[in-house]
Structure 1
Amino acid sequence: MVGMEGHGSKHDQQTFNVSLDMHQQGDSKCFDDDGRPKRTGTLWTASAHIITAVIGSGVLSLAWAIAQLGWIAGPAVMLLFSAITFITSLLLTDCYRTGDPLTGKRNYTYMDAIRSNFGGNGFKVKMCGLVQYVNLFGICVGYTIAASVSMMAIERSNCFHKSGGKNPCQMNSNMYMISFGIVEIIFSQIPGFDQLWWLSIVAAVMSVTYSTIGLGMGIGKVIGNRRVEGGTTGIIVGTVTQTDKVLRAMQALGNIAFAYSYSFILIEIQDTVKSPPSASKTMKKASFMGVSVTTVFYMLCGCFGYAAFGDSSPGNLLTGFGFYNPYWLLDIANAAIVIHLIGSYQVYSQPLFAFVEKNAAHRFPDSDFVKKEIEIGVPGLHPLKLNYFRMVWRTVFVMGSCVIAMLLPFFNDVGGLLGALGFWPLAVYFPVEMYIVQKRIPKWSTKWICFQILNISCLLVTIGAAAGSLAGIVFDLKTYKPFKTNY
């Protein structure tokens, strides 16, 4: 009997060992080192996420921004913002893991990185969370405005074409914002960032499409004009007052900052990238590709737009009706903008969705409303997973962004303000401070002083850009009646 027990325990031990080995092998194929589902992102999907996030509607205001700054300062400022964005992105990629770049503790979100480097839930962590998530919500509001402007532009260009330019074709943006919101409610049910790769690729293609059309039409107009418009110092005092000139120049800085903003979702994008090689190496290459492609398009679109229209460059290159024909090409460009913004909205909203849902699951661990998943079969595809809390909360989020967009439908001013508010704290200050802590850079060393100069300079830019954009919003509100004004 004892012998039988000993034999049985040995057999059980062998069975256990085999089962454990098989489980570990299965885990290595399906799960990462931290037990989470294995990341599958590549250099190309990460680059697509970055291009989708960066080449947004901000490109359309760059001709206007250069018109405020002129031929010398305009391109120089764009190159400067490009360099700052790339440098701080490199700093941020090294903060994805605490310690060893291959085996150190992973920081899944921007806030996790702040928490790991500064410790606990202190003031810096709370400040970062507040600024990041308010900014993400604000960008969703801005993209709702931009999408409605492009949808109106399609209808207006067709209206102008049919009436031969006799009909003013004024319309209200509210229905277009509601339509965009309905589409976003549907796409917002995509559970997580890692499942957005296909939407990001489509959006990235669309961004290149409308940027190329805007560039081509700008080049065509310059050739048609047989001259390059604009001046070395931008719009001339006399055409506008000295105060307006200064405020517009500051707002232009905010618009350019808004066009380059993506640092505050970089960690979330990096968390989709598989390893090895280390995610930081892949992300650095993706950042270089994304920022390089973006800068080329921005320089071409902004400069040729300014060359085409000079000081009268519209706030939105493809909807300001500097171009009227060919109207069908404008329709294609604006349709591409709308499709791109559908994807960009999701890229920017997913980190906020994940933050709220993670906290709800932690606070209500036994709630079926919060945690229960419902599978709905879709022919030919994987089952669609729905969650009651996700459906309700994300729907409320989209509705809220739509309502605020209806109250403040000012594309240029809102874009400038968002760029200003997010640029210094999220794209410069926190990446620099985390890098200093992680690399233990001595205080008052040459490297530390250089970083502080960058910090202070970008803070001053942020303050100026915010002031200019707020002044623009106040001016617009004097003549705007919510839900009633037509354009």
Structure 2
Amino acid sequence: MAASEIQNKKSFGLDLVDTDDDGRIKRTGNLATASAHIITAVIGSGVLSLAWATAQLGWIAGPISLFTFAIVTGFASCLLADSYRFPGPIEGTRAHTYRGAVKAHLGGLHYKLSGIAQYTSLVGTSIGYTLTSAISMAAIKKSNCFHKNGHGADCKTSNNLFMLIFGISQVILSQLPNFHKLAGLSVIAAVMSFSYSLIGLGLSIAKIAEGKHVPSSITGVVVGVDVTSSQKIWNCLQAIGNIAFAYVFSNVLVEIQDTLKSSPPETQVMKKASMIGITVTTIFYMLCGVLGYAAFGNKAPGNFLTGFGFYEPYWLIDFGNACIVVHLLGAYQVFAQPIFQFVEGCCSKRWPQSEFIKKEYPVTIPFWGVFPLNPFRLVWRTGYVILTTLVAIIFPFFNSVVGLLGSITFWPLTLYFPIEMHISQAKIPRFSSTWIWLRILSLVCMIVTILAGAASIKGIITELKAYKPFQFS
């Protein structure tokens, strides 16, 4: 590069060492950080419902369903990793977002549809995480109340206050400028996810070791004893949605891949990170689902960590629920940052001269340093957190909400768009054997998720009939 060109770039404030081939800040992500992001995104509130899901499906269908979703998700994540660059997976132009990859490979209509699916999923996940964190905070308050006042004390508490507390925390965390600032938060969150999963497993093993018989069966909850025949069908379908939600992370995979440095090739690193993340989480999922069902039988609770009671060892249950809260503080940001970046990017293009949108004001924060505060980011992101918190307060139905989120997310984002992009990128001929089996896979998953979504909506409608929102006591 000529000396004059170097000087010109310096005059525009570009650091040649700190920028990548696309002019963006140099990426520093690697296999470890990508794996941490994925584990943070995958092991979330979904793990808490797996004992209940296994109880609905039984000893055979439950584990098979978990393993099947793991295989399908791993396969699709590899296809999506190849779609990060266009036209080729190694030397092509970067697609910085999931929607960008869809636009590059499939064009305008798919781009709009993927945006609707992705951002609906991201908003829904934010709502689900707000609800789950509140359940865990309320469980901590209950266990401490029983420990202090005795098991006969009236320790009822509303989740709504804790949703507000979680929302206030997210208002602060949401001011982090971008995904690249979340690596440390994701590592902490990933450690927390391991911690509460291990605590749940340990408590399950201890409960099993007590030797108390709990009813369970090959087919799960028993018709005529635990549920009616229609409830059995709806619950099984809702359980499928819960399992699907437990494996949702495709909607942020491209954004995670965009944090990776380019050597070795991002697609190779991302495939390894995806396999590590999915393998680790599937092991935990199998253990949580199977051991949770063995511990509670057909009466497995919707959130299996709260099913161990609020008594002793209260400190261990408190710690497990605290780990859930810390984990979801980070996981919320992993799913919210793509929405933040999209809205802020659109507004910057629409009003390029607006100081309200563009200008940052340095604010000195003790023990932190100088923080770049942007007025638009402060107002818009705060509004987003308020919206998701409000919806969580209105619809606080854990299993039904989780099932609905899984059903509306899994097929379009995990299967349909990655398969369509792979067919386009690899130029697979129409009606070839590969083309046919890929389309069959997509169709089967679409049917399953539609049925699961219908079951979850029915569950929400049923629970709404007896629910009174906005109660804080």
| TM-score, normalised relative to structure 2 | 0.96
Give the Cα–Cα distance (whole angstroms) in 1 for the partners of residues 245 and 459 of structure 2: 16
Structure-2 separation of matches of 1:83 and 1:476: 33
CA distances 1:228-276 after superposition (whole Å, capped 9, x unpaired): 7521000000121000000000000000001110001100000000011
The SS at the match of 1:479 is coil
Q: Is the 8 A contact 2:203 2:308 kept in 1?
A: no
Tell me, in whole angstroms, the C-alpha distance in 2 between the residues paired with 1:461 and 1:197: 35
State the alpha-carbon separation in 2 of the partners of residues 364 and 381 from structure 1: 31
* 1:464 and 2:451 aligned: yes
1:74 aligns with 2:62: yes
Structure 2 counterpart of 1:232, which letter? I
Residue type of the alignment partner of 2:155? C
Q: Does 2:261 align with 1:274? A: yes
Of 147, 153, 173, the residue aligned with 2:139 is 153
Question: Which range moved further: 28-37 or 52-61?
Answer: 28-37
Aligned counterpart, 1:474: 461
CA distance in 1, matches of 2:35, 2:234: 35
**Corresponding residue for residue 420 of structure 1:** 407
Correspondence for 1:7:
none
The residue number in structure 1 matching 2:350 is 363
The answer (yes or no) to whether the contact 2:161–2:472 under 8 Å persists in 1 is: no
1:30 aligns with 2:18: yes
Asked if the contact 2:189–2:331 (Cα under 8 Å) also holds between the matched residues in 1, the reply is: yes
Structure 1 gaps, min length 5: 1-12
Structure 1 position 104 matched with structure 2 position 92: yes
C-alpha spacing 1:215/1:19, structure 2 compared with 1 (3 Å): same
Q: Flag the structure with larger Rg.
A: 1
1: distance between equivalents of 2:6 and 2:176?
A: 38
- Give the alignment partner of residue 401 of structure 1, picking from 388, 394, 397: 388
Alignment partner of 1:329 is 2:305: no
Quote the residue 1:180 is aligned against: 166
**Hey, what's the Cα distance between the residues in 2 that align with 1:290 and 1:432?**
21
Match of 2:52?
Answer: 64
**1:236 aligned partner:** 222
CA contact (8 A) 1:64 1:306 kept: yes
Q: Is the 8 A contact 1:314 1:322 kept in 2?
A: no
The 3-state SS of whatever aligns with 1:160 is: helix
Deviation of 1:18 (Å): 7.1
Cα distance in 2 for partners of 1:278, 1:226 equals: 53
2-side partners of 1:312 and 1:246: how far apart? Answer: 17
Would the aligned equivalents of 2:35 and 2:277 in 1 still touch at CA under 8 Å? Answer: yes
- Quote the Cα distance in structure 2 between the aligned partners of 1:15 and 1:437: 42
* Counterpart-to-counterpart distance in 2, 1:172 and 1:128: 37
Counterpart of 1:408, as a letter, is F
Provide the C-alpha distance between the structure 2 equivalents of 1:252 and 1:168, rounded to a whole number of angstroms.
32
The residue type paired with residue 278 of structure 1 is: P
1:60-459 maps to which residues of 2 (within 5 A)? Answer: 60-119=48-107, 121-122=108-109, 124-225=110-211, 229-238=215-224, 239-322=226-309, 324-378=311-365, 381-459=368-446
After TM superposition, give the deviation of residue 14 of structure 1 in Å: 8.4
CA contact (8 A) 1:102 1:276 kept: no
Which is worse superposed, 218-227 or 51-60?
218-227
Structure-2 change in CA distance of 1:160 and 1:379 (3 Å): closer
Deviations 1:394-447 (A, max 9, x none): 000000011101100111110110000001001110010111001001111111
Equivalence for 1:9 = none
Deviation at 1:380, TM superposition (A): 6.0
The answer to whether the Cα contact below 8 Å between 2:84 and 2:96 also exists between their aligned partners in 1 is yes
Matched residues in 2 for 1:266 and 1:17: separation?
A: 36
Query: C-alpha displacement at 1:131, in angstroms?
Result: 1.2
Distance 1:34 1:462 in 2: 38
Contact between 2:146 and 2:310, CA under 8 Å: does it hold in 1? no
Query: Which residue number in structure 2 is paired with residue 10 of structure 1?
Result: none
Identity within the alignment, %: 51
Query: Structure 2: 5+ residue runs without aligned partners?
Result: none
Contact preservation (8 Å) 1:313, 1:322? no
1:57-93 Cα shifts (integer Å, max 9, x gaps): 1101000000000000000000000111110000000
- Aligned to 1:196, the other structure's residue is in SS state helix
Q: Is the 8 A contact 2:362 2:371 kept in 1?
A: yes
Counterpart secondary structure, 2:217? coil
Q: Does the residue aligned with 1:165 lie in a helix, a strand or coil?
A: coil
Does the CA-based 8 Å contact 2:87-2:105 persist in structure 1? no
Q: Does the 8 Å CA contact 1:229/1:306 hold for their aligned counterparts?
A: no
The Cα of 1:381 is off from its aligned counterpart by 4.5
Aligned to 1:53: 41
C-alpha displacement of 1:463: 0.9
Q: Which amino acid aligns with 2:329?
A: I
Q: What RMSD, in angstroms, separates the aligned Cα atoms of the two structures?
A: 1.9
